[in-house]
Structure 1
């Protein structure tokens, strides 16, 4: 035990020294919890691989120390009661607390004044904010006086409290979208998570692959797929919030990931690239701009495809008229109309579906593929919490993963939590999943595809790991 504690302490001390040195040498701002607002300048140190790795080690080691030294009952109790923090966060988001504090100035506001602006009970609001401030979201600068910090400013829509209260339906319109995603998770996601046990033990839903047998459906008392429910007229706010939330989630991912993870120059001029379920074509846009010698087909539902035409008409003038970019209404469970393209792109599609449905999508693409077709599948690959096993998959280029230094968990422990949380989100809303490399390889092989290469990011934050697959030839 003493050796482990000393090892963790040494990792923290050495990594802090490394992080500070990188910041000083490169002119980066040293991370400051109380910086407001949290500008990109305060996070630029993450662009340096050494600084990013140092930060990851510090976080992982500190949290492992906390787990080691906390009374077991306290540690597990904190996990069991984490939903109360989610509830407090949702209340602050939906009641515009962060915006009210921003308008109140850097010195903060007394909770009574804050409650008047947010139309809440001050005593009860203080109790919610205190549980968040204890986790460093907001600051209690003096008794009953709260102020924003770097973490709470993430919840700021940038709008005035007056406008938010006057037009609550428009809360997230025109924003960066991340607040919408947090609200989506802390409201509907919170409700759905309460029904995991019932859904996983009910004989009707426990082993069902159907998208309407998710915990979300039990929580809401509905029997239609989540996205169809969002399309109902009475779900206008949820529908708009979800659309903005997906933009916000996309914004925290590299916008040019498709451009960087495949050698597009290897394709002959005039080659066809098909973005299946590609929305309005925003993901493939960087590739389209950088490679005018290629042709693109973006497929999605007919209404979305029409929006995509207008999107590209404005951003890539002449691409639609020349036929270099085509938007095509298409259901990816139906026969694929484009035969033998050079590349099929599936970005954030397969993880939305349980295996039987994902197999249908992949089989349609395999049936339309030529012997030289590449499937570029962009999803999250879930790491094990133990050492990755050696298998035949280990020989695939890019398959190897860098483990954290001992005695940390190989996946950097809680630093990697987002990938597992997103897996729970897929289960909660869609009865779907993020997949480990082994499960993804099995899924592809069962539908006629073989993994050729994996594009590993820098662990553990870059858990989106694009995969190149090729047809299995008889």
Structure 2
């Protein structure tokens, strides 16, 4: 019997599941149960297993999309705001923390209600909606418990501590912080996307500006006293997001040893300098400069005092207040690099940032841009010969199975909040062509490195 797309998808799922179970069997552990709270496991960061899981997920989603009636698929997509709204409700009310003390037997919704201050009837409906989608579980009628997914929302502070100090309630809890950011300011801004894209935005910089009725950028908005908690939450979310990329992402992206001793490496818009810290530890012979705005550099001093104080006192690492919109202070550096900077800006603004760096660069300088890349949802011929972002997807999967689902979400998130964008490989080539740089190569990895040379 000839294969069909359905049997091909089932085969991918079956083979992938067998590989996953085999890997866990070798470690003498079982695959984590959905109904148990999350706990770190020995295979959480296994790259090969991660790709297998991504393949199984991609095939499962495609199988559902293939066999489910189109109207049902459209209804689920169209009603996605209810997932965001209900998830934001329980996250803000600390429901996962409350259930964390209840164990696997769960807690009656009336008792949850007393702890979180939400009427029991609507709360049960919210939790049942989420449990039906495998976030939380209903262990008995109107009795709910955490599962592997919802337990990831548990914040490290107690409910009492969070209520006493709301501004820092997300400290040390990056997953809850990401969910809070998306289900708050991003959710509130998203209804304005259609108007913004259809040209009805007048002078608004982004849908976020329309939603919040402000001309301030989201960064300036976070600094306003009434948004202190949101700003603190966003910083926690971004710190957690950055930490998911191992130091090898940056250490192996470029032949740093090819640079002469004391060659200057400039971390443009580097925050407190976590990437420079990784590079400094691996290549202490180089000179590093971390650039960012004043308040961030103030935090950077504390960061380096704690992590590597001698790097500053020895002069190997310099902290510098600088805006990447101003003429670059450090001319003729060996390397300029940016991590997750350009995705905050539209193409025209990103070209200005790169043009400013080109004016300061030496003909032998390199520019390295660490950023996500959007793979097309179809087969493509790379515009840069030899540039391979990820392994090919087995038929009949979409060609962008490995990264497309997440990165396309982030792309719309950037559009929504700052009119920024995640970029395709063609977009990066275009950036270089219009700012005096030539994209020479791409180093694939958890966060690809785009390496440019001056032209």
TM (normalized to structure 2)?
0.96
Give the distance between the partners of 1:152 and 1:310, measured in 2 at CA: 34
Deviations 1:31-83 (A, max 9, x none): 321231x1221xx4353344223222221111111111111111110000011
1:257 aligns with 2:249: yes
Alignment of 1:190-205 (within 5 A): 190-205=187-202
Quote the residue 1:404 is aligned against.
393
CA shift for structure 1 position 367: 0.7
Give the distance between the partners of 1:20 and 1:121, measured in 2 at CA: 42
Quote the residue 2:362 is aligned against.
370
Alignment of 1:393-432 (within 5 A): 393=384, 395-396=385-386, 398-399=387-388, 401-412=390-401, 416-432=404-420
1:93 to 87, 91, 95: 91
For structure 2, the 5+ residue unaligned runs are none
1:387 aligns with 2:379: yes
Quote the residue 1:321 is aligned against.
313
User: Contact (CA 8 Å) 2:383, 2:426: kept in 1 or not?
Assistant: no
1:223 aligns with 2:215: yes
For structure 1, the 5+ residue unaligned runs are none
1:411–1:105 distance in 2 versus 1, CA, 3 Å: same
Quote the residue 1:115 is aligned against.
113
User: Contact (CA 8 Å) 1:256, 1:283: kept in 2 or not?
Assistant: no
CA shift for structure 1 position 256: 4.2
User: Contact (CA 8 Å) 1:29, 1:45: kept in 2 or not?
Assistant: no
**RMSD, aligned CA:** 1.8
User: Contact (CA 8 Å) 2:205, 2:419: kept in 1 or not?
Assistant: yes
Quote the residue 1:32 is aligned against.
33
CA shift for structure 1 position 306: 2.8
| Total equivalences in the alignment | 454
Quote the residue 2:273 is aligned against.
281
Give the distance between the partners of 2:33 and 2:73, measured in 1 at CA: 26
Quote the residue 1:241 is aligned against.
233
CA shift for structure 1 position 316: 1.4
Give the distance between the partners of 1:249 and 1:272, measured in 2 at CA: 27
More moved, 432-441 vs 319-328: 319-328
Quote the residue 1:7 is aligned against.
8
User: Contact (CA 8 Å) 2:195, 2:201: kept in 1 or not?
Assistant: no
Give the distance between the partners of 1:39 and 1:337, measured in 2 at CA: 47
Deviations 1:84-112 (A, max 9, x none): 01100000000010000011222110111
More moved, 319-328 vs 69-78: 319-328
CA shift for structure 1 position 348: 0.9
Quote the residue 1:291 is aligned against.
283
Q: Report the 3-state secondary structure (helix = DSSP H, G, I; strand = E; otherwise coil) of the residue aligned with 1:84.
A: helix
User: Contact (CA 8 Å) 2:377, 2:404: kept in 1 or not?
Assistant: no
Deviations 1:299-337 (A, max 9, x none): 111222232223223321322222111111111111111
Q: Report the 3-state secondary structure (helix = DSSP H, G, I; strand = E; otherwise coil) of the residue aligned with 1:8.
A: helix
1:378–1:75 distance in 2 versus 1, CA, 3 Å: same
Quote the residue 1:180 is aligned against.
177
Quote the residue 2:124 is aligned against.
126
Give the distance between the partners of 1:391 and 1:318, measured in 2 at CA: 44
Quote the residue 2:46 is aligned against.
48
Give the distance between the partners of 2:319 and 2:47, measured in 1 at CA: 38
Give the distance between the partners of 1:403 and 1:114, measured in 2 at CA: 47
Deviations 1:417-442 (A, max 9, x none): 11011001110110110110001110
User: Contact (CA 8 Å) 1:176, 1:247: kept in 2 or not?
Assistant: no
User: Contact (CA 8 Å) 2:382, 2:425: kept in 1 or not?
Assistant: no
Q: Report the 3-state secondary structure (helix = DSSP H, G, I; strand = E; otherwise coil) of the residue aligned with 2:271.
A: coil
Alignment of 1:338-349 (within 5 A): 338-349=330-341
User: Contact (CA 8 Å) 1:226, 1:429: kept in 2 or not?
Assistant: yes
1:150 to 148, 151, 155: 148
User: Contact (CA 8 Å) 1:28, 1:45: kept in 2 or not?
Assistant: no
CA shift for structure 1 position 202: 2.7
1:51–1:313 distance in 2 versus 1, CA, 3 Å: closer
Q: Report the 3-state secondary structure (helix = DSSP H, G, I; strand = E; otherwise coil) of the residue aligned with 2:312.
A: coil
Quote the residue 2:64 is aligned against.
66
Alignment of 1:300-315 (within 5 A): 300-315=292-307
Give the distance between the partners of 2:253 and 2:429, measured in 1 at CA: 18
TM (normalized to structure 1)?
0.92
